[in-house]
Structure 1
């Protein structure tokens, strides 16, 4: 046989981001901690999240992603934040 054989593969995709998994259990575990899932109350789904910005000048590197509620994201993104506010809510 000299021709390639076509196979079909089943993948499970997170409904909040584009990540896929070969096993349903792995996809379910990912969804429970996905940064883009509002139920996890993570930084990326919070009204206070400020995405990174490039600096206007070469000597100024810009600003990293941060929280507008005076908390630093230097330790990285987090989930389960007690100050989390939905994007559609106002202060």
Structure 2
């Protein structure tokens, strides 16, 4: 499940990259979306986020972006999609 805030993050990434290259923006958005979908099928494939020190909060790296997700019984929630240089949001 991709939280609404992550959709906003994805659109912001697309808009930022799209100022220089719409084609590259489409490619990046597609890769981030596909990676997020893969997380649902393989939730343990990501590493534990060191800053949170919780084994249920994990991340996958796609290029310079971090896809942060929470493993819950029966499903996975993607909770943040940020550039690697951005500060992590406080975990809800």
TM over 0.5: no
- Which structure dedicates a bigger proportion of its chain to strand? 2
Structure with the greater alpha carbon radius of gyration: 1
- Which structure dedicates a bigger proportion of its chain to helix? 2
TM-score, normalised by the number of residues in structure 2 = 0.30
